[in-house]
């Protein structure tokens, strides 16, 4: 019935030009990682978190997708959604999930490689939001990006230094509008799944950032460490097709992009996909007259306008249907309270 309603009110998006797919690097088979939600990378490892959970826990994976270790801190979070890493090696867990939008505060949890933890509570300036993405800028300032089924992601950062336990007020600093795509995948129809931001990543040198949805990644160039200015740029879209519930994204030190997905079910294998040379897609252009490097053969990139959802008829019914789709999905992902 839902598919019929969507068919009545939405024209199918235009087919994209054929592009190469990301390359599977290996497959996660460990049932403990069925809710893979956030990730960072170094030369030797992928560090990942599960959605939610009852402890601040980072799983250490080899590049063969095998679990090598865990780092656990003595904090019981509410709903962890994303992972970032500071220049000093500290992991930052984004305890910002709020499917029902009923939290008075959200939190960032610091976790050192030795397992020492801290908690930093935050408050929005304009009401409650669900958020699944976290970025750190070059100086370590955190940015929280909201998840919105209409394709408008709001970006917030602390008004000053973080205080433990806080709360520290957040300020609204940017809005990113994404247009729906026809990339297949995700747990909800593409009209919604292709515009909700589910994860974020910064490159090792701080010159590129990525926001991802269930189906695509959007790459932005960062000049002089200014994330707010970067998010006002036109992004490069990299399709991430056929991920069951894509939420994890990370840049590797060489500039390649790696993505992972939740399955929601134990004993369901999930591929870790790598797009070589992704950061180069938004690198500064060489001076005129210099040779242009050949693009990596497995990189698929599409520039996208940041215009929000396309104009469609019956706008009131459209918004209602999108809302129903998203609320149904959110109702299946409610997390426990503290």
CA distance 11 to 219: 27
Is the bond preceding residue 167 a cis peptide, omega within 30 degrees? yes
Read off the pLDDT of residues 97-155 as tens digits, 9 standing for 90 and up: 999 999 999 999 999 999 999 999 999 999 999 999 999 999 999 999 999 999 999 99
Cβ-contact 196, 272 below 8 angstroms: no
CA distance 206 to 136: 9
Per-residue pLDDT of the chain (338 residues; tens, 9 = 90+): 443 333 333 333 333 333 347 999 999 999 999 999 999 999 999 999 999 888 999 999 999 999 999 999 999 999 999 999 999 999 999 999 999 999 999 999 999 999 999 999 999 999 999 999 999 999 999 999 999 999 999 999 999 999 999 999 999 999 999 999 999 999 999 999 999 999 999 999 999 999 999 999 999 999 999 999 999 999 999 999 999 999 999 999 999 999 999 987 777 889 999 999 999 999 877 666 655 544 433 333 444 444 444 433 444 444 444 555 555 556 545 544 34
* Residue 23 neighbours by CB distance under 10 Å: 15
CA distance 274 to 41: 12
Residue located via tokens 């054929």: 18
Q: What angle do CA 95, 98, 100 make, to 5 degrees?
A: 165
pTM for this entry: 0.83
Q: Which helix (H) or strand (E) holds 127?
A: none
Cβ-contact 311, 319 below 8 angstroms: no
Read off the pLDDT of residues 265-278 as tens digits, 9 standing for 90 and up: 777 889 999 999 99
CA distance 24 to 64: 11
């Amino acid at each position: 019935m839902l598919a019929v309603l969507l068919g009545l009110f939405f024209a199918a998006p235009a087919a994209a030009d054929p592009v190469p797919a990301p390359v599977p690097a290996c497959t996660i088979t460990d049932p403990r990682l069925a809710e893979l939600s956030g990730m960072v990378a170094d030369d030797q490892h992928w560090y990942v978190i599960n959605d939610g959970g009852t402890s601040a826990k980072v799983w250490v994976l080899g590049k063969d997708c095998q679990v090598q270790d865990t780092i656990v801190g003595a904090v019981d979070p509410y709903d962890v959604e994303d992972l970032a890493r500071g220049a000093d090696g500290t992991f930052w867990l984004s305890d910002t999930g709020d499917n029902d939008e009923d939290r008075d505060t959200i939190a960032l949890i610091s976790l050192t490689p030795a397992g020492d933890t801290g908690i930093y509570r935050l408050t929005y300036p304009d009401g409650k939001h669900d958020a699944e993405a976290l970025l750190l800028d070059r100086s370590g300032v955190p940015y929280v990006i909201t998840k919105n089924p209409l394709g408008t992601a709001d970006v917030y950062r602390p008004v000053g230094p973080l205080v433990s336990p806080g709360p520290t007020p957040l300020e609204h600093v940017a809005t990113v509008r994404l247009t729906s795509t026809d990339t297949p995948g995700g747990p909800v129809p593409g009209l919604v799944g292709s515009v909700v931001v589910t994860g974020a990543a910064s490159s090792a040198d701080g010159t590129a950032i990525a926001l991802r949805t269930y189906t695509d990644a959007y790459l932005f160039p960062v000049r002089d460490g200014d994330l707010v200015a970067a998010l006002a740029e036109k992004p490069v879209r990299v399709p991430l097709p056929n991920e069951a519930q894509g939420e994890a994204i990370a840049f590797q030190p060489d500039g390649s992009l790696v993505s992972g997905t939740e399955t929601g079910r134990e004993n369901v294998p999930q591929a870790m996909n790598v797009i070589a040379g992704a950061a180069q897609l938004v690198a500064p252009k060489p001076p005129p007259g210099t040779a242009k490097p050949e693009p990596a053969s497995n990189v698929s990139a599409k520039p996208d306008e940041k215009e929000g959802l396309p104009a469609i008829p019956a706008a009131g019914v459209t918004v209602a249907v999108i809302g129903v789709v998203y609320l149904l999905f959110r109702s299946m992902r409610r997390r426990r309270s503290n």
